Chains A and B, each alone.
Chain A
Amino acid sequence: MSKPTLATIWLEGCSGCHMSILDMDERLIDLAERVDVVFSPYIDIKDFPDEVDITLVEGAIATEEDLRKIRKIRESTTTLIAFGDCAVMGNVPSMRNPFGKESVLERSYRENAVDNQEIPKDSVPELLDRVRPVHEIVDVDLHMQGCPPSADTIHYALTELLEGRQPQLTEITRFGK
């Protein structure tokens, strides 16, 4: 029997949740024996696969490109995990919402620039007006809080899922922790 498949992706986040995956340290070696990692920033794979058992989604939804990605991920994934506070509730990236995207771009590319003050628009994806949590766009199967969730939490959740059980995260996670 082939191994269960795991995908991980980061959208609008800081990659801290992905670093927390690596913080499983030597447990990573055992985990790599139990699952096939089929898509991840750590791996060279061209497209998001059509069928994935578990996907960890780090980060909020901030651009048109993120929207397309998260819809494709939902379509292809059996268990979609909102992985970390940005994915669960927008967190720090959504702090830009009250200002509006124009003034956020204005600050970086006109006020705080000396040469060629202009807002990039070629070959770069357009920002959404509001940064949104994953569950506002697609259904989420499991919310994993934490900034980032600890390596122990990630290990527990993945192990439970691989054993066919539903992980109970409310007692062991907290926003921001």
Chain B
Amino acid sequence: MPETITIDPVTRIEGHAKITIHLDKYGYVDDAQFHVTQFRGFEKLVEGRPYQELPSIMARICGICPVSHLIAGAKAGDGIMAVSIPDTAEKLRRVLNLAQLVQSHALNFFHLSSPDFLIGMDGEPSERNFFGVMQQEPDFARDGIRLRQFGQQIIEWMGGKRIHSPWVVPGGVNAPLTEDVRDKILEGMPEALEIAQRQLVWFKQTLSEYRDEIRSFANFPTKFLGLVNRQGQLEHYDGTLRMVNSSGKVVEDGIEAPNYGTYIGEAVEPWTYLKFPYYKGEGYPDGIYRVGPLARLNVVDGCGTPLADQEWTEFRELERGPVVLSSFHYHYARLIEILYGLEKIERLLQDDDILDTHIRAEAAPNNREGVGISEAPRGTLIHHYRIDKQGLIEWVNLIIATGHNNLAMNRGIQQVAKQYVKSDSLEESMLNRVEAVIRAFDPCLSCSTHAAGKMPLHLQLMDSEHQVLDELRR
């Protein structure tokens, strides 16, 4: 097994992630593993800090989705204070969260994944990046830049800065929305909606070119987990957790944040720093499930906004079964969620009380523990804090979106490897497809590690005696 293989440190010098592939004695792929090689330690390093500081410190877990950590941290703080925050504050947090959804999904689709579609899975590696896309498809690149910019600008205008805004605090937000900012956002909305719709139309047209990838990119039955609102619709800020199985049947529903531990366990493997959350109802490792855009669209009964609902209906009819199983369709789901995010932001900003200045509840700690759950762009995010009598953090548990998908990503790599590797030699296109299946999940390894998107990868091909037959690095 990989733990017996010593990998030369120099070969890993650029590597944030590593994949090992094991062959059986006939030369067929037997197993594959996705190794995450960095560790941050946030569950410990915040010990002794006042709980009010936590949202801003936790935001530093990730520069791609800081708003998610800000919100989950602030909600855990709301729980400690035992307050129900003002309506306007909740709406403003929702807008911020959705703005991040838009920018983060745009980042994955345009900046990181689109080179695989436009330059091609088998394209020239030195050109297969966003700078290559800028040269070959400048209009497409500009669309991506503009859409991401729109999400980031909303965050900047509302929260003071684009990355690591301190605006969300336990009890609410720390400043009301101004009329000027509201109007600026609404002014930019038509362009953003137009881009989102245009790219969705384009991507749907290209799907027929990816039949092999759709078939083999982590395409298997698992359960799916995500938040839903009271109507069973798409929800990113609050609501309760729902889990459906691969036949679309609801297996768990109405899970409240504080009870997550009854349903989700965490397992450790010695060969990666990323833990493996699993569904306790089926144990480890059988309790495999997926989170994120694909999972969210699979668990809900609808989106709740007109344009997204139309797309959602079409999306759910993609495959024969009632839910969509191929992880390649994370991309498609991401585009639908961008559309949803924009529609929802527009609707929230049109509410009469959105400019209200009562935006923060004040209280001393009333509970020793608080759990905050939200949907980060990549899936369900759980922050669980416990404080001492002085309000200082005593203990923290975090379950990060990318972690939930760890079992599925590992199985996905096995599936792609089995599809494309049949002999004892590796090809570049195979390397890229293994990378691309991981990219479909949009792992935010900054959250547990680093390496979003175009990770340097190190592949080793081993025989059944665990001898290295071949390796490829990038």
Contact = CB atoms under 8 A, between A and B. Distances in A.
B63 A72 contact: no
A170 interface: no
**Which range holds the interface residue count of chain A?**
35 or more
A47 B18 contact: no
B361 interface: no
Nearest to B33: A123
A107 B303 CA distance: 38
Interface in B326-358: none
A120 B60 contact: no
Given A41-B451, A47-B14, A120-B268, A25 B63 contact: no
Interface stretch (A62-70, A132-140, A158-166): A62-70
A39 to B, nearest CB: 8
A132 to B, nearest CB: 15
A118 B128 contact: no
B266 A15 contact: no
A107 B43 contact: yes
Interface in B220-277: 265-273, 275
Of A65, A68, A118, the most chain B CB neighbours within 10 A belong to A65
B37 A125 contact: yes
B271 A122 contact: yes
A116 B14 contact: no
Nearest to A68: B13
Given A46-B473, A47-B13, A96-B45, A123 B37 contact: yes
B129 to A, nearest CB: 5
A47 B39 CA distance: 22
Nearest to B63: A16
Given A96-B41, A96-B45, A99-B47, A123 B2 contact: yes
Contact of A123 (B35, B131, B453): B35
A46 B270 contact: no
A148 B14 CA distance: 23
Contacts of B35: 123-124
B333 to A, nearest CB: 22
Contacts of A103: 44
A116 B9 CA distance: 27
Interface residues of B, number: 76
B64 interface: yes
Interface in A101-138: 101, 103-105, 107-109, 112-125, 127
B207 interface: no
Contact of A115 (B12, B111, B268, B271): B268
Given A14-B62, A44-B125, A104 B44 contact: yes
Contacts of A29: 134, 138, 141-142, 145
Contact of A41 (B38, B125, B397, B454): B454
Interface in A23-57: 23, 25-26, 28-29, 32, 37, 39, 41-48
A70 to B, nearest CB: 10
Contacts of A26: 142, 145-146, 149
B363 interface: no
Interface stretch (B156-164, B291-299, B462-470): B156-164
Nearest to B132: A43
Interface of A: 10, 12-20, 22-23, 25-26, 28-29, 32, 37, 39, 41-48, 59, 62-65, 68-69, 72, 91-93, 95-96, 99, 101, 103-105, 107-109, 112-125, 127, 147-148, 150-151, 177
5 A-B pairs with least C-beta separation = A16-B63, A122-B3, A115-B267, A114-B265, A104-B41
Interface of B: 2-3, 5, 7, 9-10, 12-14, 16, 18, 20, 35-41, 43-47, 57, 60-64, 66, 107, 111-112, 125-126, 128-131, 134, 138, 141-142, 145-146, 148-149, 152, 161-164, 265-273, 275, 278, 284, 397, 446, 450-456, 473-474
Given A16-B164, A29-B141, 17 more contacts: A12-B38, A14-B446, A15-B63, A15-B452, A29-B138, A44-B125, A68-B13, A69-B14, A93-B40, A120-B270, A123-B3, A123-B5, A124-B36, A124-B37, A125-B38, A147-B164, A148-B163
